Amino acid sequence: MTTFIPEWGAGSGRALQLRRVLQDLGDGAAVRKPLLEVADSADFFLEHDEHGWLALAICPARYADIGGGQLFAPDGRDAFLRYLGALGDVLAGALPTLVVMSACSESDTALLAQDAAAGGQMTLCSGERFAQGGADALRVLMRKLSARQATVLRRRYFPESEIAGLRVGRRTFHRDNSAALTGVFLDREQEWASKLDLALPDEQAALARDFSVRLLNGVAGCGKTLIALQRAILLAQSRPDQQVLLLIHNTHVVADLMERMHRGHLPIPANMQMFTFAKWAIRQWKAVFGRYPQMPKGHELLGMVRALQPRPPSLGLDDEQLLEEMNFLNEALISGEAGYLAADRAGRGFALREIERSQVWALFQQLNAQLRARGWRLWSAIAGEICDAAQQRRDTRAFATFATFDHILVDEAQFMAPASLQLIKLALRPGGSMFLCADPRQGFLKNRLSWKRVGLAVAGRTKKLRRSYRTTKALLQAATRMLARQVEEDPEDYLAPDFAGMDEGVPPMLVTVDTPQDAVDRVANEIAGLARQSNFPLSSILVMYGGRVSKDLLYASLCQRIGAAKVWWLNKDRAAPPGGYGAEHIRMASIDTATGLEGTFVFLLGVEELLSLGGHDRGTEVRARKLYMAMTRSCYRLSVVTAQALPDEALGDIFERRA
């Protein structure tokens, strides 16, 4: 089936006839419509995997308007000839162009073609002949373009689809010094997803309701973050009078994207902002309340919770579980004890009877009172407090500096709690759009929540991406098998990957050493070896570490082997790499903050706890999902180094073992 980029809505008359012809181009064909204004552009650019490219222009001018057959009506004729000349100049005439004279008869079109001396790569036909010839006639006119010609064409008419500063291979790694000449672009499916609903402004206005929401569900590695970024930039460029916000879940991903955009010389448009949700929410809180929120440190908060625990213990919850339940009360926007008693806690991992919920609610009130006395609040309360303030005093000056946007895009939306999504909706202007990217195998969806239950009606507004462009078949299959054994997926949210056409690759490697120190040495030596090979850029290497290894020792060892300026510890240098943007460096990050990162060569160490899978309790499910996330960061090769010997039957068909 032909892919339309962007998708076409319902049409009638000539538009419907045009769509029917183009639809018959079939599988392997794409019809692109430029969304940014480009002088003298054709209306559509057709690409077919087997037959090549064709520019298609629809000219509605009548024969009489052009001055056909009239000796003293040169203006219309001259304008028409300039129009044809501009179309023919694309790629110095190498791109075939079909001009459909939709309001002219066959005989009049023939006269115009003769008068304009059309020929070579330029063809004129009437609307009637276009409909009769159908897709077969289009295939005959198509011509193959070289990689360089295709890059020139896409950079001129679809610059928003080029990936800035690509640091890793998309399935395999290729070092290409001519990358500036050939370019790297979004895959066809990714480009289609990035332009969903991006019709012309008047068409969009006709479809706008209170707000328009679109959900993009995708498997790991399908390019959700790239799609969100490219779409945000396109929205900002094509609608300079509107404000665009891109929210990213992970601080490290924001820094990584900024470094990537610097490499690609791609500035952020003036009307676009990109933040982590946490940073944006705190800015919005300050805009409403006039100061920054103060929150206790982790150990201080756990100490307060521990002091509240009943003596003797009667709840059966440890300190972290109790705090987690209190955060749930904030995140679910539960405002009273009655609401808590009636709330659906499906997927919370532990049951609470009514009397226990009443106890938790009382402790929650006590904790909030103690926090308020110190001028503190829970982080989980930030979004809800803003929403409450909006209901009470939205029309007052308190909201004068509250930032609102015409378009809000959310990456890793599955991590957003109901309160967070409510805050995002609050910042959306009337008639605005919300674009959500999510992975059903992570985040709140794993807790049996649904989009409907968090206040978003996405039925009929969801698109699914099942193809992974990041990793290999062997790596994705291994991660999928591991997760399937430990997690019972919800059939409604399950998204099965499409493995067809993926590079085979090699299974992930499990390296067993004697001690955590040996694990650090092994990883540092492997990376030093890669660094000595000039065909592997350091920026293609990602190191993730868990709690069973010394992060400071790992960092010191890597700095000693390859130089401190070449190691970007994302948890330490959050804003930018130590050597500045553009310099070559490996990336190092905690596994707890690695969501959204990727690397051609990925090393994972200090995660023995994640490898000790067994049973089907909540803790095992959480560990399995985290391991799945880590395994799917790799584009080409994954090496897991462990200081704990695993039984032969444990993950035996998941990893290739090596001593």
What is the CATH classification number for the domain harbouring 282?
Answer: 3.40.50.300
Contact 275, 411 (CB under 8 A): no
Whether 215 and 126 map to the same domain: the answer is no
The last residue of one of the domains, among 106, 128, 157, is: 157
Q: What is the largest CA-CA distance in the chain?
A: 104
Positive/negative CA dihedral, 549, 555, 559, 560: negative
Whether 56 and 85 map to the same domain: the answer is yes
Q: Which whole-number Å values give the CA distances from 73 to 66, 80, 108, 401, in the listed order?
A: 8, 12, 16, 58
Displacement of CA 436 from its chain's centroid (Å): 9
Contact 91, 152 (CB under 8 A): yes
- Encode pLDDT of 240-268 as tens digits: 999 999 999 888 888 888 887 777 667 88
Helix (H) or strand (E) holding 427: none
225 appears as a binding residue in the annotation:
yes
Whether 643 and 505 map to the same domain: the answer is yes
Quote the pTM value: 0.81
Whether 509 and 530 map to the same domain: the answer is yes
Average pLDDT over residues 88-115: 86
Whether 555 and 607 map to the same domain: the answer is yes
Tell me how far apart the alpha carbons of residues 391 and 368 are, in angstroms, rounded to a whole number.
21
The total of other beta-carbon atoms located within 10 Å of residue 461's CB is 17
Whether 275 and 411 map to the same domain: the answer is yes
Whether 141 and 212 map to the same domain: the answer is no
- Encode pLDDT of 547-556 as tens digits: 999 999 999 9
- Encode pLDDT of 5-18 as tens digits: 988 765 567 788 89
Whether 501 and 613 map to the same domain: the answer is yes
Tell me how far apart the alpha carbons of residues 384 and 177 are, in angstroms, rounded to a whole number.
51
* Domain limits for position 318: 298-376
Whether 131 and 280 map to the same domain: the answer is no
Tell me how far apart the alpha carbons of residues 265 and 155 are, in angstroms, rounded to a whole number.
14
Whether 503 and 546 map to the same domain: the answer is yes
- Encode pLDDT of 37-94 as tens digits: 887 789 999 999 999 999 999 999 888 888 655 544 567 778 888 888 888 777 767 8
- Encode pLDDT of 164-207 as tens digits: 655 544 443 333 333 445 667 888 888 888 888 775 444 444 43
Cross-strand partners of 586: 567
Q: What pLDDT is recorded for position 2?
A: 92
Stretch among 231-245, 442-456, 489-503 having the lowest mean pLDDT: 442-456
The domain total for the chain is 4
224 appears as a binding residue in the annotation:
yes
Q: What pLDDT is recorded for position 618?
A: 67
Residue with tokens 């067994």: 614
Stretch among 122-136, 343-357, 616-630 having the lowest mean pLDDT: 616-630
Strand 44-48 versus strand 52-59 pairing type: antiparallel
Q: Which whole-number Å values give the CA distances from 39 to 34, 57, 100, 124, 239, in the listed order?
A: 11, 13, 19, 20, 17
462 appears as a binding residue in the annotation:
no
Percent of the chain with pLDDT over 70: 85
Q: Which residue has better confidence, 460 or 626?
A: 626
The last residue of one of the domains, among 412, 431, 465, is: 465
Q: What pLDDT is recorded for position 459?
A: 74
220 appears as a binding residue in the annotation:
yes
Q: What pLDDT is recorded for position 365?
A: 96
223 appears as a binding residue in the annotation:
yes
Q: Return all residues near 543 (Cβ < 8 A) that are at least 6 apart.
A: 523, 527, 554, 558, 586, 587, 588, 589, 602, 603, 605
Give yes or no for residue 579 having a pLDDT over 90. no
Whether 483 and 591 map to the same domain: the answer is yes
Mean pLDDT of the chain: 84
Ramachandran bin of 375, using left for φ above 0, alpha for ψ from -120 to 50, beta for the remaining angles: left
The last residue of one of the domains, among 449, 465, 481, is: 465
Contact 280, 247 (CB under 8 A): yes
Tell me how far apart the alpha carbons of residues 539 and 559 are, in angstroms, rounded to a whole number.
15
